[in-house]
Amino acid sequence: MTDILPLQVIRTIVRAVPAVVPHLSEETRAMLKAAGSYDGIRTVMHGAVFGAVFGYLSGEGYVTTFREAMATAISRAYIDTADTAYEEGGGELPLDDETAAWARGMLDEQLAYIDALFEDLRDLRKAGGFDAGEVGQARAEGYASALDGFYNEAVLRGSKNKIAYWRLGKTEKHCNDCLQLNGQGHKISWYIEHDFIPRKSGCALECGGWECDCGLEDKDGNEITI
């Protein structure tokens, strides 16, 4: 497939039709990840989550088949993201012990969610009256959003000693924590210690990071987080 279409085109197709990811070769998936760095990792995982959920809801296969496929895709995404983001933040591999333990804990948390997800999907498939594509897309977006928060913290952990400045996002209403932090500069280790991580679901910000699109910048205004 990569001999016929350039990777940029393949990436566009995957984003538009995530159901194609399970049909891509391992070589193509690896090239997508490598070519797009984090963006490629995210794209492949998004498509794999969609494919697992859509495939289970629209077919008659055993739940274990789809659950294991999704667990494998998420495991790969979190492991690849940890290394990629840590290096992008300025850290040198392998991950330091504290970051490695944190990354493992975050991955274990996501894997636990998968078991609960497929219990809900099993009940949904029995009940009927759903759009498998809509459910698959919603779940894929949710897991991709969680990966964004994981990426941001891994970047920060790779550059703990740098100073970063909080910038407000484009949402109409900001929580009190984000408003208070706006324009402040702190060592990145300070943000990690306080769990003030942009886009991290369930972080210590008053908004919980669920709808937060704030970010951190260096002294020159360059974005550190996504």
Question: What is the percentage of the chain residues whose pLDDT exceeds 90?
Answer: 68
Per-residue pLDDT, 211: 79
List all residues 6 or more positions away from 8 whose beta carbon is below 8 Å from its beta carbon: none
**Of 152, 145, 149, 171, nearest in space to 225 by CA:** 152
- Give the tens place of pLDDT for each residue, 94-152: 999 999 999 999 999 999 999 999 999 999 999 989 999 999 999 999 999 999 999 99
Q: What CA–CA distance (Å, rounded) separates 78 from 76?
A: 6
- Give the tens place of pLDDT for each residue, 73-95: 999 999 999 999 999 999 999 99
| Average pLDDT of every residue of the chain | 86
pTM of the complete model: 0.81
Does the structure show a pLDDT above 80 at 19?
A: no
Cα atoms found within 13 Å of the Cα of residue 71, Cβ hemisphere only: 16
Per-residue pLDDT, 60: 75
Residue 37 banded pLDDT, cuts 50, 70, 90: confident
* Mean pLDDT, range 174-181, rounded to an integer: 94
Per-residue pLDDT, 209: 87
Does the structure show a pLDDT above 50 at 1?
A: no
